[in-house]
Copies of this chain bind each other. A is one copy, B any other.
Amino acid sequence: MSLSYRVQTKCKDTMARTGVIETPHGKITTPVYMPVGTQATVKAMTPAQVEETGAEIVLANTYHLYMRPGHDLVEEAGGLHKFMNWNRPILTDSGGFQVFSLGALRKITERGAEFASHLDGSKHMLTPEKAMEIQQALGADIIMAFDECTEYPAEYDRVVGAMERTHRWAQRCIDAKTRKDQALFGIVQGGMFEDLRRESAKTIAAMDFPGNAIGGLSVGEPKDMMNDMLDVVSPLLPEEKPRYLMGVGSFDCIIDGVARGVDMFDCVLQTRVARNGMALTKRGRLIVRNATYARDFSPIDEHCGCYTCQNFSRAYIRHLVKANEILACTLLSIHNVQATIDFVREIRDNIEAGTFASYKNEFFENYQERK
């Protein structure tokens, strides 16, 4: 078995739970936030810095690595773990979402998705079989089925078509996969339609993947709608397997997701807003670039134990942001990743202490949502 999962503690008031996933590269304690290393690097951070934040697993991107440097090259390097010098678990997505994001540049047929490279416009085809071939060459511990994500808003018929194709493609992924040391996760689609989400959850659950992902959310819909869809999908996914909410990772969405039984999260938010001079905290975002912090010699978050907060002031980081210094991206990325991981650890601690529901209430009392 390439992956095992066991629940440790269940919350009495919500679907929240803690657990442990075992992989060939070590264990992951859940709920977990997974930093994203799109191009085989968590942007602006060394693997040593990523490890120092407490990260237990990182993501990498099949589409991007297929385009550059090529999965064959990564395989020749000894696989992704060795290539990027990350010896803990890795998850690769299937490339489905990235191809979907190419919009007019892609055409979807039953066979797969034809698209033009964002780098040089060259024509390529991703199919379920090709997505498996690439992900097997990359060698991540957890790999994802090739799916078709739908935009928001989308017509019912279009969502039905994409969902049914996603189910057929999921079976083709199962059939194409040969490596035994990787765990393939299925992906639930169904847009923002409860009946389709229900159908997709049941179909994917029945295919007996070692883990199940919920895709097609956080694509522009209101936040309540995402939670509504989770309320429908989550109870239909097997309790004895990890649930992964793809592409979601703001503090409020994480805690809402955990309350709905989600175990795994990933998001580029942490490193992306860092490059725009923003810090994430349990109270909301801090725009370090703002003039108000010019002479603020306190850390981003005085309760944070990250390298950045232990050693640098808002004034210094603001100076770096204004001066376009790379170190600004690095220090803010370190903080944002570690702050998220520490937040998820607090969530775990509260689930185990039986105080999750009140912790969640308290969190929302203090959290300033993004306007």
Binding site for B on A (CB under 8 A): 39-41, 43-49, 64, 68-69, 73, 76-78, 83-85, 294-295, 297, 307, 311-313, 315-316, 318-320, 322-323, 325-327, 329-331
Min C-beta distance of A171 to chain B, whole Å: 34
Are B315 and A73 in contact (CB-based, < 8 A)?
Answer: yes
List 9 A-B residue pairs with CB atoms under 8 Å apart, sorted by A's residue number.
A41-B327, A44-B327, A44-B330, A45-B327, A69-B318, A73-B319, A76-B297, A78-B297, A83-B315
Please name the residue on chain B nearest to A329 by beta carbon.
Answer: B326
- Least CB distance from A253 to B in Å reads 26
Contact A43/B326 with A77-B297, A85-B311, A307-B48 known, Cβ cut-off 8 Å:
yes
Partner of A294, one of B69, B294, B311, B319: B69
Tallying the copies of this chain within the complex gives 2
A46 and B330 in contact, given A315-B73, A319-B69 (Cβ under 8 angstroms): yes
Closest residue of B by beta carbon distance from A52: B48
**Residue A325 contacts which of B43, B77, B85 (CB distance < 8 angstroms)?**
B43
> What B residues does A39 contact at CB under 8 A?
319-320, 323, 325
- Residues of chain B within 8 A (CB-CB) of A307 are 46, 48
Taking the closest CB of chain B, its distance from the CB of A19, in whole angstroms, is 31
Which of A39, A43, A307: most chain B CB closer than 10 A? A39
- Given that A40-B316, A83-B316 are contacting pairs, would A73 and B326 also be in contact in the complex, using a CB cutoff of 8 Å? no
Residue contact B326 to A326, C-beta cutoff 8 Å = yes
With A41-B320, A319-B69 already in contact, the answer to whether A76 and B46 are too (CB < 8 A) is no
Chain B residue with Cβ nearest A316: B83
A48 partner residues in chain B, CB cutoff 8 A: 307
**CB pair A46 B326 closer than 8 Å:** no
Bound CA span A330–B329, Å: 12
Residues of B within 8 A of A77 (CB): 297, 313, 315-316
Nearest residue (CB) in B for A310 is B85
Taking CB as reference atom, which chain B residue is nearest A311?
B85
**Closest-CB distance, A318 to chain B (whole angstroms):** 8
**A69-B318, A73-B294, A77-B313 known; 5 other A-B pairs, CB under 8 Å?**
A39-B319, A41-B327, A68-B319, A69-B319, A77-B297
CA distance A232 to B68 in the complex (A): 54
* Residue pair B330, A69 in contact (C-beta under 8 Å): no
Q: Are A319 and B40 in contact (CB under 8 A)?
A: yes
Q: Taking the nearest CB of chain B, how far is it from the CB of A291, in angstroms?
A: 11
Please determine whether A326 and B76 come into contact, CB atoms closer than 8 angstroms.
Answer: no
With A and B bound together, what is the CA distance between A286 and B84 in angstroms?
20
Bound complex: CA of A335 vs CA of B84, how far in Å?
17
- Chain B residues with Cβ below 8 Å from A68 are 319, 322-323
A47 pairs with B311, CB closer than 8 A:
yes
